[in-house]
Structure 1
Amino acid sequence: MVRLILTRLVLSVVLVVIASLAIFFLMSLVPGDPARTILGANATPDLVARLRQQLGLNQPLPVQYGRWFVGLLHGDLGDSVLSGEPVTSLILARVPVTLSLLVLSTLVIGVLGTLIGLGSAVRGGAVGRLLDTVSLVGLALPSYWIAVVLVAVFAVAIRLFPATGYSPLAEDPVQWLLSLVLPVTALSLGGITIVAKQMRDSALDVLGRDYIRVLRASGVRERSIVLKHVLRNAALPSLTVLGITIVAALTGAVFVENVFVLPGLGSLVTQATTSHDLPVVLGVGVFFTLFVIVVNLVIDVLYGVLNPKVRVR
């Protein structure tokens, strides 16, 4: 198990390098000039050229990336081209919002997806058919469209939850939770149906195995069979799907944060991309990459907890 974790950590360094390289050179293809954005459309070419030289934007792309990567090795993500603020400070100010959204969405997807899928496998019949129908709908509807509908219904028509804004947890836990109900719902609906369907299929496979019949014939209670045997074995493939769903939620979080005007990393990277603020885009990209690495590492550890064979590899 320790060897597996160390291998994942080594591969993580390579992943950060590849991801940052991809972001850097893809951003270089996006039309726009930060110097022109700062100075305005009426700035003279000489003034723009001097600012580009001052910001180091006139250097070759490999030199610019090398300078940024050396700073990364020293824990420095650079400064925002537009505001001049340290990128680390900008990210840390917005991390609580995005992490709140992602952590709550993960809990909702994991818990509800597992319960619905397991209940569908045990009960079957109409519940299973309903789950299949809802799964198709959940996969077809994008999270940003769901977000708009939720705002129209529960924030505008019913006025049950706030339509926009975010209240920090430390200031008002109740308002914090209320401000995240609709965003978390919009981000979680598709993931719940995916995890529930995987859990249902895995649980049905386990329920059809011979040792389950033996346990039932031996008089073991159905509840004990489901919780101790079916859930444990069916959770393994569902964990993989849950991990993929959480990673995919990063993309959805960018759109959801913009719909609900949440001051998170999604809205920050959208603004930075529009203004061609490369250090900010790279900093957020590194954070998202590290988030994916942590999610995969947690999934690997949970695999080891549920499956002893993984621990001895």
Structure 2
Amino acid sequence: MLRLVARRLLWSVPLVLAAAAVSFIAVGLLPGDAARSLLGQNATEEQLQQARHQLGLDLPLWEQYWHWLTNALQGDLGTSLISRTPVVDELNSRIGASLSLIIGATLLAAVVGIALGVRGARRGRIGRLVDTVSVIGLAVPDFWLGLILVVVFAVELQLFPPNGYVDPLEDPIGWASSLVLPVITLAVPAVAIIAKQTRDAVATALDRPFVRTLRAAGISDRSILFRHALRNAAIPILTVVGLVFVGALSGTVAVEFIFAIPGLGSTAVQATAAHDFPLIQGVVVYFTLIVIVVNLAVDLAYGYFNPRVRLT
């Protein structure tokens, strides 16, 4: 298992560097000018040139990336071109909101999706219902669902706040209340994916020969389902839960915008619009590190459910 962890961590280094390089090049090719975003539309060309020189934007793209990379390796992701605050400080103040949203949505989707999938694994009408719910859940756009939830539960029923984010250290109840609608919005498509995968994986496990042997030995169906079939189906379920977590990173962009949550997704949109290189790079690094941690956690879970993975 230690070899597995070490190998994954070793591979994470080139992954972070590659993601940062690709994003830097992509942003550099986008139309826009950070100096104009900073000074406004009425700035003269001389003022723009002076601002570009001060910000280092007049250097070749490879040289800008090299300066950024050498500082990043020392833990300095630079300073936001627009807000003039350290990127690390700005992102650290926002990552809590994004992680609260993503972790909450993933947990909700996993609990509900696995419950639906297990219930529908025996086929019949429940199995067909799970398939139908999966199709509908995947077809519902996040932004549309979010707006509907706001209108119904925030405006009409006034059960939850329509937008905003509350610090859990200041008001835990307010924090939980502010996350209900965005978490449900982000979790609905994920519930459909996990339910379908769980149903198929558990149904396949129940059709294997060892299940017939257990039934012949007098083991109850409930015990077979939860102690044996579900454990054998854990690997594909864990895989799709990990993919759901990673996919939620991109889903936060729309959800954070709808509910005015100050997270990494909304920061990425604002930074891209302002052509804020350091802030965009910081978001990419944070997202990449989150993906690495999630993949490592999934690999460790593989080792728990499948001992053969520990020997690889």
Aligned to 1:59: 59
Aligned-pair Cα RMSD in Å: 1.0
Write the letter of the residue equivalent to 2:108. V
Asked whether the 8 Å contact 1:113–1:193 carries over to 2, the reply is yes
Q: Summarize the alignment of residues 278-289 of structure 1 with structure 2, pairs less than 5 Å apart.
A: 278-289=277-288
Aligned to 1:10: 10
CA–CA distance in 2 between the matches of 1:210 and 1:31? 60
Asked whether the 8 Å contact 1:144–1:252 carries over to 2, the reply is no
Q: Runs of 4 or more off by more than 4 Å in structure 1?
A: none
Aligned to 2:153: 154
Aligned to 2:301: 302
Aligned to 2:119: 119
Aligned to 1:104: 104
Write the letter of the residue equivalent to 2:8. R
Asked whether the 8 Å contact 1:77–1:88 carries over to 2, the reply is yes
Asked whether the 8 Å contact 2:103–2:245 carries over to 1, the reply is no
Q: Summarize the alignment of residues 37-186 of structure 1 with structure 2, pairs less than 5 Å apart.
A: 37-122=37-122, 124-186=123-185
Aligned to 2:193: 194
CA–CA distance in 2 between the matches of 1:107 and 1:39? 44
- Residue 69 of structure 1 deviates from its aligned partner by 0.4
- Residue 147 of structure 1 deviates from its aligned partner by 1.0
Secondary structure at the counterpart of residue 121 of structure 2: helix
CA offsets per residue over residues 208-244 of structure 1, 9 Å max, x none? 1111111112111222111110110111111111111
- Residue 41 of structure 1 deviates from its aligned partner by 1.3
CA offsets per residue over residues 253-300 of structure 1, 9 Å max, x none? 111000000011111111111111110010011000001111110000
- Of 87-96 and 158-167, more deviation after overlay is shown by 158-167
CA offsets per residue over residues 116-174 of structure 1, 9 Å max, x none? 1011114x322111111111111112222211111122111222111101111111111
Write the letter of the residue equivalent to 1:310. V
CA–CA distance in 1 between the matches of 2:234 and 2:302? 9
CA–CA distance in 2 between the matches of 1:144 and 1:20? 28
| TM-score of the aligned structures, taking structure 1 as reference length | 0.97
- Residue 84 of structure 1 deviates from its aligned partner by 0.8
Percent of aligned pairs sharing the same letter: 48
CA–CA distance in 1 between the matches of 2:175 and 2:42? 43
CA–CA distance in 2 between the matches of 1:213 and 1:17? 50
Residue ranges of structure 2 left out of the alignment (5+ in a row): none
Asked whether the 8 Å contact 2:164–2:259 carries over to 1, the reply is yes
Write the letter of the residue equivalent to 2:269. T
CA–CA distance in 1 between the matches of 2:82 and 2:260? 21
Write the letter of the residue equivalent to 1:278. F
CA–CA distance in 1 between the matches of 2:243 and 2:104? 16
- Of 41-50 and 286-295, more deviation after overlay is shown by 41-50
| TM-score of the aligned structures, taking structure 2 as reference length | 0.98
CA–CA distance in 1 between the matches of 2:219 and 2:38? 72
Aligned to 2:242: 243
CA–CA distance in 1 between the matches of 2:311 and 2:267? 43
- Residue 178 of structure 1 deviates from its aligned partner by 0.9
Asked whether the 8 Å contact 1:78–1:86 carries over to 2, the reply is yes
Secondary structure at the counterpart of residue 283 of structure 1: helix
Secondary structure at the counterpart of residue 233 of structure 2: helix
Write the letter of the residue equivalent to 1:80. S
Write the letter of the residue equivalent to 1:54. Q
State whether structure 2 residue 216 is matched by structure 1 residue 213.
no
CA–CA distance in 1 between the matches of 2:111 and 2:297? 16
Asked whether the 8 Å contact 1:134–1:193 carries over to 2, the reply is yes
Write the letter of the residue equivalent to 1:279. P
CA–CA distance in 1 between the matches of 2:148 and 2:80? 35
Aligned to 2:232: 233
CA–CA distance in 1 between the matches of 2:102 and 2:259? 15
